[in-house]
Structure 1
Amino acid sequence: MMPPSSNVSSGGAEQGVKCIINDQMGPFTVLYILIFIISLPGILLSVWAFVRSPGAQRQSTGVYLVNLLAADLLLLLALPFKILKDLGVAPWSLMVFHCQASAVTIYISLYASIAFLAFIIIDRYLQDCHTLRLLRLQEVSFAQLLSLVVWLLLLLIMVPNMALPIQQVQEQQYLSCSSLKKDIGLHWHTMAVFLCTALFLNASIAVLISSGLALKRLLASRSNPKLWVDARRAVRSVTAVAVAYMLSFVPYHVVRTPYTLAQTKVITDCQTRRQLFLGKESTLLLSVLHLCFDPLLFFYLYTPFRQTVRKMLPCIRSQAVSDAEEQDASEMMQTPTSAQHKDVI
């Protein structure tokens, strides 16, 4: 077999020496298979529960969670193609299809998840901060419009990666997707990476601000028992989602930019490219891991979803009565306005 043209390093090695960067995918594919198997029942259960949930699209929280679930479904559908390619058992046409379509779908899903998790964190803060309830972010129509804008923006950025023409390369066992791209494809890919990184940075700033405001409100309410209960609930829900957000997506973006420079041949040293590729795959695996935890997020953050799941699963019905009693007691401590708008326990 001829040396893969995409795997030739022109720096730190002699011209023409092979530089294969993706020949250590065995452990990653095992972990991806485990993630797929573990997350599949939870995602399918979530779809069924949201279909059966009354008024899932009548609250801003429900709108953001439904869109997060849609992103999870896209990722779940694209993951088997990546697994087959990384295992080396896929036919050549399927490997090319992964590079052109399913790999791009993974990144659309990834950044959609980032955006909607950020919206959920902001919405969770506003849910418990009654003085800010007039902000449009919590209006259902505005939440739907914002969700539509996110999807259209991501499609505008990512779809050209699918549509731009590719070049013919020799069939090879270890296909690097960047080797299929012509110069215009590589330039667009680089621009897409930096645009999506900008989206991530803006979302992260919003997450940090919401978390900081929730913590500040908690500290300021220590002298008022009623405000302390509300503030503690806000900090607990916001912080839990924010920590999961940071652990899932921050490591990936630390590695993403230098890895993109390796893809576009700015970094040409073979050993550096291999290390960056392994770093990218490791942190991407961490990002994909959120598939396993999102069903728990749906369950604990959205009351109609939780009630539907309890009706579907008799083993947890017994908890419904005690939780309902706790909710009634909590609502009795709140003002009528806050109890009217509250949709999350």
Structure 2
Amino acid sequence: MTGTFELLNFLLCAANTGFQDVMDMTPTPSSGNNNLNDANTCGVDLSQDAIYLPVIYGIFFVIGTPLNLMALFGLYRLIKTENVLPVYVINLLLSDLLQLFTLPLWMDYYSRGHSWRFGSTSCQLLGVSFYVSIYTGIAFMCIIALERYLAISKPLRFQALRKLNFARWIALSIWVVVALPPSIALHTMQPNDNHTLCMERYPSKEGFITYRLITLTLSFLIPLSFILFLHRKTLRSLSAIGALGAEEKHRIRGFLILLVVIFILVLGPYHVTGCVKYIGLLLHGDACEWEKAVFVPYQLGRGLLSLNSLLDPVLYTFLRNDFRAAAGHYLPCLRRMQESVNRSVSHQRTTTKSTSGLVDQPVITINTEPHS
């Protein structure tokens, strides 16, 4: 109960002061040399990420929150159309917002040298929310890749799969299925021990190592293979379509390539270093030495996970012409920006035509003189 009151007080203070207290980068004595944590028997120096993670999470929170909210505002009316893609995009952005809302508490936790002060239950809820946001985002990226494949390669088949009601049920099912495993494994991820670490232990327990290896494999290697397979099939089908213009094909190819690149660059470091970490714990003779060796790379990869909150609105909202037009309609700032670009392009074309007309004018005059 005390932890709950502290959590509420922290959120109120953060809202009023702009997270100034959260951004205090001085780690507490519980990290580093004066280890007061019975969950860190390895003596890992937990102050190594006391600056990096709070700073990068602060940047993501400040920029990503309004960016995702604006994207949602520009997309929600597209749900009324029979286009299913906005349903998946909106759910992707909701997963980003869920992750963003956990960042202030993580900033407080890491700036204090991995010292959680709000109680075990709130830590469990925060950890589940963070992981659910990541894995639902991955699932919706796969669904978006599949939807693009069906729309391009099989436009006349699987019509029932591309109905709006079906898309809503799929989205709801993804949230339920993804949320179940971490909710059930609460006691494994954060036992009710008397320590201040949240969602971590050094060294990790064998049961938790097995759980993480399974989730890392299911959430990265399999989705990556699925997306790469669809990417190849979609590009092959796109090349065979003669009805689309070259510019449209180029835009679709860019969309698919960016999807793969972001999946690898944003999610890859965390999942790869995670697999290396937990496999090494099973094979390495000294688990504590291995924990110390992989601590910094693993935390760096963890920080990059939240980069999705900045890239998803840009990739899935403004890259598509229809989404960009809708966002410009509902967001005056984007509309004015687009109009400014259009005026600039129009001015350049006018200048080019005027110059061309001045060069060709003598020829036109000569050709028309016999007819006067």
Same fold (TM over 0.5): yes
The AA in structure 1 aligned to 2:62 is I
Alignment match of 1:300 (pick from 311, 315, 319): 319
Aligned-residue CA RMSD (Å): 3.5
The AA in structure 2 aligned to 1:145 is W
Query: Contact conserved, 2:46 with 2:113, CA < 8 A, in 1?
Result: no
Hey, what's the Cα distance between the residues in 2 that align with 1:196 and 1:206? 15
Gaps in structure 1 of 5+ consecutive residues:
10-17, 324-345
Query: Contact conserved, 1:261 with 1:267, CA < 8 A, in 2?
Result: no
Per-residue CA deviations over 1:180-233 (Å, capped at 9, x if unaligned) read: 9997xx626742551352143332122111211133235556xx5747555434
Partner in structure 1 of residue 298 of structure 2? 280
Hey, what's the Cα distance between the residues in 1 that align with 2:249 and 2:267? 26
Hey, what's the Cα distance between the residues in 2 that align with 1:166 and 1:206? 35
Cα displacement (A) at 1:130: 5.1
Equivalent residue pairs, number: 307
Partner in structure 2 of residue 331 of structure 1? none
The AA in structure 2 aligned to 1:69 is L
1:148 to 1:225, Cα distance in 2 relative to 1, 3 A: closer
Q: Secondary structure at the match of 2:117?
A: helix
Hey, what's the Cα distance between the residues in 1 that align with 2:80 and 2:62? 27
Query: Contact conserved, 2:102 with 2:129, CA < 8 A, in 1?
Result: yes
Query: Contact conserved, 1:68 with 1:117, CA < 8 A, in 2?
Result: yes
The AA in structure 1 aligned to 2:308 is H
Cα displacement (A) at 1:123: 1.6
State whether structure 2 residue 146 is matched by structure 1 residue 122.
yes
Alignment match of 1:178 (pick from 200, 215, 230): 200
Query: Contact conserved, 1:63 with 1:144, CA < 8 A, in 2?
Result: yes
Hey, what's the Cα distance between the residues in 1 that align with 2:281 and 2:105? 21
With the length of structure 1 as denominator, give the TM-score of the two structures.
0.74
Per-residue CA deviations over 1:282-340 (Å, capped at 9, x if unaligned) read: 112222101112221223337257424433224524737999xxxxxxxxxxxxxxxxx
Alignment match of 1:310 (pick from 318, 329, 344): 329
Gaps in structure 2 of 5+ consecutive residues:
1-33, 343-372
Partner in structure 1 of residue 237 of structure 2? 217
1:55 to 1:145, Cα distance in 2 relative to 1, 3 A: closer
Per-residue CA deviations over 1:218-267 (Å, capped at 9, x if unaligned) read: 5556xx57475554343222122222122111222111123345778977
Q: Secondary structure at the match of 2:146?
A: helix
Hey, what's the Cα distance between the residues in 2 that align with 1:100 and 1:87? 19
Query: Contact conserved, 1:118 with 1:203, CA < 8 A, in 2?
Result: yes
Hey, what's the Cα distance between the residues in 1 that align with 2:62 and 2:80? 27
State whether structure 2 residue 268 is matched by structure 1 residue 250.
yes
Query: Contact conserved, 1:178 with 1:263, CA < 8 A, in 2?
Result: no
Alignment match of 1:207 (pick from 208, 221, 227): 227
Query: Contact conserved, 2:78 with 2:86, CA < 8 A, in 1?
Result: no
Partner in structure 2 of residue 335 of structure 1? none
Q: Secondary structure at the match of 2:167?
A: helix
The AA in structure 2 aligned to 1:204 is L
Hey, what's the Cα distance between the residues in 2 that align with 1:301 and 1:227? 15
The AA in structure 2 aligned to 1:8 is T
How do 1:88-103 residues align onto structure 2 when only pairs under 5 Å count?
Answer: 88=112, 92-94=116-118, 96=120, 99-103=123-127
State whether structure 2 residue 56 is matched by structure 1 residue 31.
yes
Hey, what's the Cα distance between the residues in 2 that align with 1:109 and 1:188? 20
1:104 to 1:265, Cα distance in 2 relative to 1, 3 A: farther
Query: Contact conserved, 1:40 with 1:76, CA < 8 A, in 2?
Result: yes
Cα displacement (A) at 1:89: 7.9
Sequence identity (%): 21
Higher-Rg structure is 2
State whether structure 2 residue 40 is matched by structure 1 residue 7.
yes
The AA in structure 1 aligned to 2:318 is F
Hey, what's the Cα distance between the residues in 1 that align with 2:204 and 2:272? 26
Query: Contact conserved, 1:7 with 1:176, CA < 8 A, in 2?
Result: no
1:261 to 1:80, Cα distance in 2 relative to 1, 3 A: farther
Query: Contact conserved, 1:22 with 1:274, CA < 8 A, in 2?
Result: no
Hey, what's the Cα distance between the residues in 2 that align with 1:302 and 1:97? 45
Partner in structure 2 of residue 340 of structure 1? none
Structure 1 stretch displaced more, 119-128 or 69-78: 119-128
